[in-house]
Amino acid sequence: MNKKPNLFLIHGEDEYQVSERAREIVDTLCPPGEATEKLEEMGGAASRAEEVEQIVHRVFSSMQTLGMFSSEKVIWLRDVNWLPESKESRYEGVKTATARLEKQIKSGIPGDTTLVIVCTRKVSARSAFFKACKAAGEVILFEKPEQSYKAVEYASDLLRGLLRERNIQADEQVINSFISRAGTDTRQLVNETDKILNYLGDRTELTIKDVALMIAPSREMVPWELADFIAARDFVQAMDILRRLIEQRQSEVAIIHGLALRFRELSLYRALMDSGMARISGRSLSYTDDTGRETALAVNHKKIHPYREYLAAQSASRFTRQELARARILVADTHDQLFRSALPKHVLLELLLVKLLGSAARR
């Protein structure tokens, strides 16, 4: 029979999931009614080496002290910010204190004590401390992607799960709109989902109108999000994002440049699919031979993430090759007009949107 671990390291940039998982573990180790006797919480945040040394000293003191009413003890070390490779971990005093804790972990947590370490940063897997924790107990990582499009993908998957748990149905357009307005922070998504659940009442289907009504934009937009909604042929959301970009004083030239790149990308994948060199299979894009893959690499000038290729191909399938060729001409013409026309730049961009998606808006 496997022995239950008496060490847990829960870490990663997704602060909400890290905190929730730590709470679940602590609640399992200390069921209701037992926390007073068994649980000792400690703040683990520090800004100086001396504070880290004091925290580690408190952990050792707690491990060596028997509980008054129970031989079992759970030490919950929260909000640790000095483990490898944080900025704080570079200081000698921090290294010494961390090495002391690492040595204890290697030799074993004493008695019936369980140590739960919570760090809302990713601990380096190359560090000796990480390896000691992995060998001695359980290490749990909640990692948020750094790249913007991967963060959106991560948040979208998380949101689908949250809605599914609450028996709420939503299509991809609704998911995209939700993320566009609420952002990618997990805690914010959970809060907004609970708010939506209360608003819907007995209804089980979430619509674009519900999202627009109930979720206020909580972050600044970036030009690629406009391109996403244009690629989805969503006129209403695209116009909303365009106007928010203008309010944020985003460069009109940067917006046009982003659209030009997106339509070039869509034209590529539309051509590859029309020629039979690529096809959408499930939630991925598959190439029928190396020619298609090499063509994509040559046009993109770099290898694109497979899921990103799938999304691009999916968007391209909403347009004909003729529509994409016309769109590229319209974008190029609008770029020229930004420097030559007497019309305000924001009006030129809105006119472009109408020309690109006006038919979709009238449906």
Per-residue pLDDT of the chain (363 residues; tens, 9 = 90+): 456 799 999 999 999 999 999 999 999 999 878 877 889 999 999 989 999 999 999 999 999 887 666 678 999 999 999 998 888 888 899 999 999 999 999 999 988 899 999 998 999 999 999 999 999 999 999 998 876 667 888 999 999 999 999 999 999 889 988 988 888 899 999 999 999 999 999 999 999 889 988 987 766 666 777 888 888 888 887 888 898 888 888 899 999 999 999 999 999 999 999 999 999 988 788 898 888 888 888 877 677 778 778 888 888 999 999 999 999 999 999 999 999 999 999 999 999 999 998 765 545
Alpha carbon separation from 50 to 104, 121, 352 (Å, rounded): 19, 21, 60
d(C-alpha 81, C-alpha 47), whole Å = 9
Residue among 228, 208, 218 at smallest CA distance from 149: 228
Single out the residue of 175, 248, 245 nearest to residue 215, CA to CA.
Answer: 175
Whether the CB-CB separation of 141 and 12 falls below 8 Å is answered with yes
- Residue range 225-362 forms a domain whose CATH class is mainly alpha
Tokens of 86: 């944080």
Task: Tell me which of 1.10.8.60, 1.20.5.50, 3.40.190.10, 3.20.20.70 is the CATH number of domain 148-218.
Answer: 1.10.8.60
Neighbours of 262 (CB within 10 A): 21
What is the pLDDT at residue 149? 67
Q: Is 207 exposed, middle or buried (0-12, 13-18, 19+ CB in 10 A)?
A: middle
Q: Which of 247, 238, 186 is nearest to 208 (CA)?
A: 238
Same topology between domain 7-141 and domain 225-362: no
What predicted TM-score, i.e. pTM, was given to this entire model? Answer: 0.63
Strand partners, 124: none
- The beta strand positions in the chain, using DSSP E, are 7-11, 39-43, 72-78, 112-119, 138-141, 278-281, 284-287
* CA 236 remoteness from chain centre: 25
Does the structural domain 7-141 have CATH classification 3.40.50.2300? no
Residue keyed to tokens 């985003």? 250
- pLDDT of the residue at 120: 87
User: Residue 271 has which token pair?
Assistant: 């051509």
| Domain boundaries along the sequence of the chain | 7-141, 148-218, 225-362
CB atoms within 10 A of CB 306: 12
227: helix, coil or strand?
A: helix
Structure tokens at 347: 């009006």
